[in-house]
Chains A and B, each alone.
Chain A
Amino acid sequence: MTKHDNSLTVSRDDQLDVILKLAVMAVGGQGGGVLTTWIETLARTQGFTCQATSVAGVAQRTGATIYYIEMAPSTVTAPVFSLAPAPGDVDIVVAAEMMEAGRAIMRGFVTPDRTTLIASTHRALAVSEKSVPGDGVAASQEVRAAAEIAAQRLVMFDLEQIAVAQGSVISASLFGALAASGCLPFDRDAFEAAIRAGGKAVDASLRAFAAAYAVASGTAEDAVTPTEKGAAPDVTGPGGLMKQWQALQDRVAAFPGEVQEMASAGLRKTVDFQNVDYGIIYLDRIDGVLAKDSAKQRYLLTREAAKHIANAMAYDDIIKVAELKTREARFSRVNREMGLTGGQRIKLTEYFHPRASEIAGLMPARLGAWLEASSSRMARLDRWFGKGRHLRSDRVTGFMMLYLLGGRQSWRLKTLRHAHEVAHLEAWLSQSLRHVDKDYHLAVELLRCRRLIKGYSDTHARGLTKFDRVCGAASLLAGRKDAADWIQRLREAALKDEAGEALDGALKTVRSFT
């Protein structure tokens, strides 16, 4: 065996602080490897000994991954570096996404005694967050709150946005924030030289680097300015209509303050969906609810009714879809999102797959009902119309098809679909409001169940079934003190998974005690 007689004779004063430990927490594909290479290049050109490790391969494809770097000044002879970060032993954590920052905190890499956390606040949603039918998005504010406690220093803003705005990727803006944080004992020039040495997409990277540097060092504002909430959008139109619109606005203004925001949004939605007369029907319906409501309850019932009646009235039919798809504002939004510049042109393809029920729904109520009554007639409809269509809405023929369909608004009120929707709405409203006197909150929760109805075709049908099952439980629960709580719980269970397994379980529980 080879003997190295190197017992520790030097004093034990904490020499270890000379080692700088840096962990990069990223999602596979974010360019964590590029960032790591820059940091290594930087350290080595500045006379540091540096070691980086990573886990490449299939394990990192779009999954959470860690790159780990240690460095020490070259005055230290043959430093022994660790190959992986250890809890409580990391100086700098660079997190390329908000939940990855959370993961770093969770794993103990961010500690108040030493760690600077540089994190991007943007979200790349995990599959588990985005696949639930409801809102499964993890709470960023919880991670931020934890970060404020866990980190010694915190540099946190939307670094993704900054990079994208500069036509670059997040590795460059993270590198800029790292430079500005002053955690590494190197000049800005040295950082930029490392980017240049990489030789790929140098200009865009330097721009994103500089933008992030400016924000992190406090010389520029965070690119994301909070959007103004509640500012009512402008309305334009011919004089006569504007007058009628003003009259409707006045009616909304007469509502209790708690109801106004929702009623105003609902009114816009219903008028936009159909016309001013439809808006009047909407407001009449709200009046009907308001009559049963009271200031004592701060008009919660009316507020919820204003929200869900609007959604129910502006149902998703082919006419609505066609009309929205052909608007000028939509065309310019698409152009903006695609970053279209003057010299470029755009081709737009829409994906439609009408089904027999939607075609029958477009028919006058009696004809539609006659069609719907027979499975063979419906099958024929499906044969004629029920196939996937890719429509080019930037071409005249494709556009005209949608344009003409979208112009059938006056027809809409005669259709079978409309009859169905009205019937469903009336039934839902009356069944919900039946409980107002005895159990106000049960009525509120039943109104809120309208949230379960969304989507098109099968998804829509599944939503309806879930809606029926949750609302059906009201008859079991009515009279109990916790009826409203249970309806809320059932609704949340229904939003957890597509097949409704969580709802099955919750309903079983309900049946066990009723």
Chain B
Amino acid sequence: MAERSFKAEVEHLRLGAGETFTGEGILAITKALLENGVGYVGGYQGAPISHLMDVLADAQDLLGELGVRYEANASEAGAAAMLAASVHYPIRGAVTFKGPVGVNVASDALANLASSGVTGGALIVLGEDYGEGSSIMQERSHAFAMKSQFWLLDPRPNLPSITRAVGQGFELSEASNTPVMLMVRIRSCHVTGSFETRDNVPPPLNVRDALANPRRDFSRVVLPPMSYAHEQDKVKNRWPAAQKFITENGLNEVFGPQKAPVGIVLQGGMYNGVIRALQRLGMADVSGKTDVPLYVLNVTYPLVRDEFLAFCAGKDALLVVEEGQPEFIEQDLSTMLYRAQSSVRLSGKDVFPQAGEYTGQVMLDGVTAFLRRHAPDLLPGQVRAPNAEGHAIPDLSKTVPIRPPSFCTGCPERPIFAAMKLVEQKLGKHQIAADIGCHLFAALPPFEIGGATMGYGLGPASNAAFDGGGEKRAISIIGDGGFWHNGLSTSIGNMVFNRSDSVAIIVDNFYSAATGGQDIMSSRAQNPSKSTNNPIAKALKGIGIEWVRQIDHTYDVTAMRDVLEEALTCDYDGPKVIIAASECMLNKQRREKPKRNEAIKAGRRIGVPRFGVDADICTGDHACIRLSGCPSLSLKHLDDPLRDDPVAHIDQTCVGCGNCGEVADAAILCPSFYRAEVVHNPGALERWWVGRRGRLINWLQSRRARTRLNFEAADL
């Protein structure tokens, strides 16, 4: 189960004509898919589109009623390949994944799909993970649309526009026999708002019926000579058809006055940012009425030359607002102007930064610079000759610490890396390759383990150069998500086939945890519609790994350390795989906490563990923190003039995972940690027995206290 339940949101998916949906952008897209008669949906989770997958997983009943097939694909490649159903059958299909990493993985299938062309509308809902809050390399998915020639929608970031784009995307796809990618940025995915819903529409032809009447068409297969024909078809037929559809149906939009000396051409996704900049300059009002004409590209590929040139008519200069690089749109528009022998001046990356997100300030600065250069008269006096701004706010950049993401409180991966750090202290540094997933946080302090990540499921594969072994063995890390995504073949299979003398650690936390706790093949949960409980160890055996060790309680740092040491030093020269398995604490707490509270309320006996630190035993050296970094393990200053340094302290958010005690034990740190298990609703016998024990202990304590001086402890 995902870390968030979407049962409530699923009800929104049932809204009918004339009702209002209020919620998150990505859920609105889900609703729009159902309104547009989609026949099958799928995808691969990842921020920012995980919620689409999660809500679909929770909406099985509704999908069943409508005859829509939902598939949780094994990878983005799998998702894109599923769109093959729309090649021959007039069924609308939609898949979702994140970009550009998901598109990287899917690109083989997407290229084939784009070559074959589609009959039913094929839509890829792409969450573009770019800018602040992104967790991946900063690139554009735009290039994939250009190289394979499928169409790219980038609607204005509000719910009515985004949902409208879903329907338009399907129609455009069908009108041009080309798959369409609907791009939504991180913040647009999570933006909230409202739109008016329509009734859900069951697919005119569903996949079951299609299966009963199979179709095939030799000309669609990507093989010579058809592949040559496909290329010609793209430029001669599909492209013009798309441009015709875009123009006739008004997919792109123009705002503002007919006549003006300047205009702005922008990606749809940039619209709100541009309007805000104009609002702040006093050139647009709160509802977006503007002094400067805007040509909003809700379709960013292909561009429509005639539309663009019509917008240019009568203008002296244009600003292109295109986030990221390279600036494909700006280059394309420049070519159009040049070929049309136009005198219109084109601005873009000359006033905007080449790289990076167009944040509020960047947008304001860029638009201002453009207007100052090309239409200073339009600017309000205040902007043309600003008063010197007066407030000198102290610089806090040396005070405020950076706070990158890290392991959650009680995370079962923390002890794995604590163990690795201990092994490193003993056996020295090793070559370490990491993968994608929460475990990549180990690259950050306090662990600083792992120096590279090449992609999902590729951890062990990216150590392939070191497979031959040597004085030391290479270590790679891969998560259970990455393992099933493609790691089993690409990474582990590679190790087997090449007789790798290295070590792979599979971090099995029972979920695709980093993307929001979706179930995967080896999840321990019982999932009503998916096959879970397929052990990773079994897959390893099956593929030919002979040396497999499984630790089922990663918090046992000593065992973890010992098995790592064994793998690094044993005589066996084939591939060695350690499965480090413990449940993701975020998901575990989400499941267990309500149960526990219920049990306490109902009067059932239950123990709740938490850790503590004896402040008078802690010496304030913080060695424990350098092996943990747990948010609940922090510091506090004591009110004791003899002490300079703050001591360790565990706050009430501790979930009692045990890492602190185990690390203190394995690393031989200090005896200041203790584990306190509060027993709720103890039975009568237990109360009696613990009471007697307590009285004896108490007697001993006061016996000693009577013979010595006792200092009332300062409040520690």
Contact = CB atoms under 8 A, between A and B. Distances in A.
A61 interface: yes
B668 A351 contact: no
Nearest to B673: A351
A55 B252 contact: no
A344 interface: yes
Contacts of A266: 642
Contact of B619 (A79, A131, A262, A454): A454
B133 A60 contact: yes
A164 B188 contact: no
Interface stretch (B80-88, B501-509, B572-580, B699-707): B699-707
A59 B254 contact: no
Nearest to B359: A84
B273 A83 contact: yes
Nearest to B692: A396
B631 A457 contact: no
Interface in B693-716: 693-694, 696-698, 700-702, 704-716
Contact of B192 (A51, A58, A126, A337): A51
Give the size category of A's interface with B: 35 or more
A394 B674 contact: no
Nearest to B513: A58
Given A57-B516, A127-B445, 13 more contacts: A4-B255, A55-B47, A131-B446, A133-B622, A138-B401, A150-B393, A227-B639, A321-B617, A321-B671, A325-B674, A337-B612, A344-B681, A458-B667
Most buried by A among B307, B665, B668, B673: B668
Contacts of A9: 289
A128 interface: yes
Given A58-B514, A61-B438, A338-B610, A86 B286 contact: no
Contacts of A235: 709-712
B286 A57 contact: no
B240 interface: no
Contact of A149 (B192, B291, B393): B393
A327 B704 CA distance: 9
A242 interface: yes
B708 A275 contact: yes
A148 B269 CA distance: 37
B394 A334 contact: no
B384 interface: no
B124 to A, nearest CB: 19
B610 A456 contact: no
A99 to B, nearest CB: 5
Interface in A119-171: 123-135, 137-139, 142-143, 145-146, 149-150, 164
Nearest to A236: B710
Contacts of A233: 711-714
B562 interface: no
A7 B289 contact: yes
Interface in B349-375: 359-361, 363-364
Given A29-B631, A237-B708, A275-B708, A134 B612 contact: no
Given A102-B396, A233-B712, A57 B192 contact: no
B223 interface: no
A56 B364 contact: no
Contacts of A5: 256-258
A207 interface: no
B526 interface: no
Contact of A125 (B48, B158, B620, B634): B634
B409 interface: yes
Contact of B272 (A66, A80, A150): A80
Interface in A212-234: 227, 229-230, 233-234
Identify whether the interface residues of B are mostly helix, strand, loop, or mixed.
Answer: loop
B558 interface: yes
B555 interface: no
A137 B646 contact: yes
A373 interface: no
Contact of A454 (B157, B311, B621, B626): B621
Given A2-B250, A131-B629, A321-B617, A457 B645 contact: no
Contact of B693 (A55, A62, A316, A395): A395
Given A7-B291, A81-B272, A271-B709, A128 B445 contact: yes
B415 to A, nearest CB: 14
A337 B651 CA distance: 9
A235 B714 CA distance: 11
Contacts of A58: 47, 135, 405, 438, 514-515
Given A57-B48, A61-B408, A307-B642, A344 B674 contact: no
A59 B363 CA distance: 24
B396 A455 contact: no
A103 interface: yes
A290 B21 CA distance: 79
B172 to A, nearest CB: 14
A77 B288 CA distance: 10
Nearest to A316: B619
The 10 closest A-B pairs by CB, nearest first: A86-B360, A57-B47, A55-B133, A63-B405, A2-B250, A7-B257, A455-B621, A388-B665, A454-B619, A237-B709
Given A1-B307, A234-B712, A149 B287 contact: no
Contacts of A320: 617
A353 B395 CA distance: 46
Given A16-B280, A63-B405, A229-B639, A102 B709 contact: no
A89 B277 CA distance: 11
Interface string A288-317: 000000000000000000010011000010
Nearest to B247: A1
B708 A241 contact: yes
B452 interface: no
Contacts of B258: 5, 7
9 contacts: A55-B48, A236-B709, A241-B708, A271-B711, A321-B617, A326-B701, A344-B678, A350-B671, A455-B619
A87 interface: yes
Contact of B405 (A3, A59, A108, A337): A59
Contacts of A272: 709, 711
Contacts of A89: 276, 280, 360
A367 interface: no
A143 B275 CA distance: 33
A82 B646 contact: no
A254 to B, nearest CB: 19
A508 interface: no
B190 A143 contact: no
Contact of A328 (B135, B669, B705, B711): B705
A390 interface: yes
A127 B406 contact: yes
A80 B639 contact: no
B285 A10 contact: yes
Given A50-B192, A81-B272, A311-B642, A65 B380 contact: no
A92 B438 CA distance: 33
Nearest to B23: A40
A456 B618 CA distance: 9
Given A7-B289, A8-B291, A83-B187, A241 B709 contact: yes
A392 B702 CA distance: 20
Contacts of B51: 56
Contact of B697 (A19, A112, A396): A396
Given A10-B289, A80-B286, A130-B622, A265 B641 contact: yes
A438 interface: no
Nearest to B160: A78
A348 B675 contact: yes
Nearest to A393: B674
B215 interface: no
A112 B281 CA distance: 20
B709 A87 contact: no
A125 B625 CA distance: 11
Interface in A39-65: 40, 44, 50-65
